[in-house]
Amino acid sequence: MKIAAVYSIKGGVGKTASAINLAHCAANSGLRVLLWDLDPQAAATFYVRTKPKLKGGVEKLISGKQDMSRVIRSTDYQNLDVLPAEFSYRNLDHILEEEKRTRLRKVLKPVRDDYDLVILDCPPSISSLSEQVFASADTLLVPIIPTVLSLRTLEQLNAYLAEIDLDVPVWPFFTLVDRRKTLHKDVMESLKQDYPLQLSGFIPYSSVVERMGIERKPIGTFSRNSSPAVSYRSLWQEIGQRLSLLKEPTVAVDPAAKAAEAGSTGTAPQGAATGKASTKGDAASKSAAKPASKEASSKPAAKPAGKAASSKKAPSTDKKPASKDSASKDASKDSSKATSKSAAKGKKKGGNLGD
């Protein structure tokens, strides 16, 4: 069982809205989720349509004298239960002062096999309850608005954790983001350099989040395709993977990209794209081979060097004597050569006379 606390020193940053929506997203992913409302205002209890009432009171719960099954309530959503808050939670700080830091985790021990994830919706303060949360949680999910004052509270939180010597991972993420504002963009960019554990997802400012108070439901149930609903699902995926509650997504291989990569490396691609590529390659090789074959046919074939050398050394003695026709042809050739020579001499003489 993992414990994730949605916590911030500053109020009005979207803690309860984030706790509700992240718990709902986790439950939709198939995990068994318990949402524990620790705020005496009981806003998370209100959002899931549960009465803010705790049988036996908070003191009996913390002391371990109360059976957890009697105080945990089911919600309208599968895999999601709630441990409601009531106004008596205002006394939690006094009750926990005498307890060890890990008392909250011990309170949850009887149900650790019943749930995969517990999400704590914490009040905005630094107190005995806060120290209990820091010592019991596996991570602190810290919503911050992209403003200077909100960043200042994050610095105060880290300084306090160092002071009390508690090494709990702090994963900040932005809420109420307005990307049109230059200040918001600058603050978001600056936080990446100082906090490498910052979650990459952020929640945009939207009236849909405010409608949660009217609908009394998680955003994904009444505005599934809205920007905040999509952002909370993406944010939960990142958190679930960090907590090792969700598997890393498998990356699908694009066949076209695979074929292009194979072509650049000189290897033969596979699949249907391979057939097209190989067909084009065959056509190109055939067209390139045609002119080469013509040139080869126009040139006389060279005789092997071995045969030429053997013919010079040992001329054939089996030649037949020249026939009468070939002898007459040779005689006529000799007479025509003599005639052409005499004609050339006559022309030369005539040219000298003219000069």
Q: Residue 5 forms beta bridges with which residues?
A: 120, 140
List, for residues 207-245, the tens digit of each pLDDT value. Answer: 999 999 999 999 999 999 999 999 999 999 999 999 999
Distance of alpha carbon 220 from the chain centroid: 23
Which of 43-52, 86-95, 101-110 holds the top average pLDDT? 43-52
Phi, psi of 73 (to 5 degrees): -120, 145
Torsion-angle region of residue 9: left (phi > 0), alpha (psi -120 to 50) or beta? Answer: alpha
Of 75, 16, 33, 76, which Cα lies nearest the Cα of 243?
Answer: 33
Alpha carbon 81 to chain centroid distance?
Answer: 31
Instruction: Classify residue 319 as left (phi > 0), alpha (psi -120 to 50) or beta.
Output: beta
- The pLDDT score that the predictor gives to residue 248 is 67
pLDDT level of residue 255 (50, 70, 90 thresholds) = low
> Following DSSP, what letter does each residue of 13-29 receive, concatenated?
SSHHHHHHHHHHHHHHT
Longest dimension (CA), the chain: 150
Predicted local confidence at residue 148, as pLDDT: 87
Q: For 304-326, how does the pLDDT look when each residue is reduced to its tens digit (9 = 90+)?
A: 444 443 444 444 444 444 444 44
Helices and strands (DSSP H and E) totals, the chain = 17, 8
Greater confidence, 180 or 260?
180
Which of 21-25, 106-110, 253-257 has the weakest average pLDDT?
253-257
Percentage of the chain modeled with pLDDT above 90: 50
Closest CA to 103 of 64, 160, 154: 64
- Cα separations in angstroms, 31 against 34, 69, 74, 298: 10, 19, 15, 79
Backbone φ and ψ for 309, nearest 5 degrees, come out as -65, -40
Q: How far is Cα 81 from Cα 31, in angstroms, rounded to an integer?
A: 11
- 220 contacts 29 by C-beta, under 8 angstroms: no
**The one-letter amino acid at 315:** P
Amino acid at 178: D
Q: Is the pLDDT of residue 104 over 70?
A: yes
Under 8 Å between Cβ of 246 and 237: yes
